[in-house]
Amino acid sequence: MPEITRDEVAHLANLARIDLDDAELDHLAPQLSVILESVASISGVAGEDIPPTSHALPLTNVFREDVVRPSLTPEQALSGAPAVDQQRFSVPRILGEEA
């Protein structure tokens, strides 16, 4: 049975930049375990002869020709941005890390 520990949930929350306090972790960790267990019940149905799949359709090689299509205007592109500066998306500063 898959079980997700409280520590794992805290780690994932940190990676996802979600600030969870102790009470929320206590509350959410068991719930996530239940969800994982529910999903895992599929394993019980799938036999050895059914390979894992990542796609519902039996397709391969769906390609696009390398031809330019119109982009959005910068106004359209930035219309949903919470903050804009110098025609760029303005985001809060990144703490102590760099991709």
Partner 1 sequence: MTDTLVAFDDVLASYDPALGLEVHVELNTNTKMFCGCPAVFGGEPNTQVCPTCLGLPGAMPVVNAKAIESAIRIGLALNCEIAEWCRFARKNYFYPDMPKNFQTSQYDEPIAFEGFMDVDVDGETFRVEIERAHMEEDTGKSLHVGGATGRIHGADHSLVDYNRAGIPLIEIVTKPITGAGEKAPAVARAYVSQLRDLIVALGVSEARMDQGNLRADVNLSLAPKGAGTLGTRTETKNVNSFRSVERAVRYEMQRHAGILDDGGSILQETRHWHEDTGITTSGREKSDAEDYRYFPEPDLVPVAPSREWVEELRGTLPENPLLKRARLQADWGYTDLEMRDVIAAGVVGLIEETVAAGASPQAARKWWLSELGRRANDAGVDITELGVSPAQVAAVQALVDAGTVNDKLARQVFDGLIAGEGTPEEIVAARGLAVVSDDGALGAAVDAAIAANPDVADKIRDGKVAAAGALIGAVMKEMKGQADAGRVRELILEKLQ
Residue choice 44, 49, 72, 82 for contact with partner 1 (CB under 8 A)? 72
Q: Which stretch binds partner 1 (CB under 8 A): 19-27, 28-36, 40-48, 80-88?
A: 80-88
Give CA–CA dist 7/13, Å, rounded. 10
The tokens for 27 are 């509350």
Phi and psi angles of residue 63, each rounded to the nearest 5 degrees, phi first: -115, 165
36 belongs to the binding site for partner 1 (CB under 8 A): no
The tokens for 49 are 């002869």
Q: Which stretch binds partner 1 (CB under 8 A): 26-34, 41-49, 68-76?
A: 68-76
Task: Collect all residues with Cβ–Cβ distance below 8 Å to 52 and sequence separation of at least 6.
Answer: 46
Binding region for partner 1 (CB under 8 A): 15-17, 54-55, 57, 59-74, 77-78, 80, 83, 85-94, 96-99
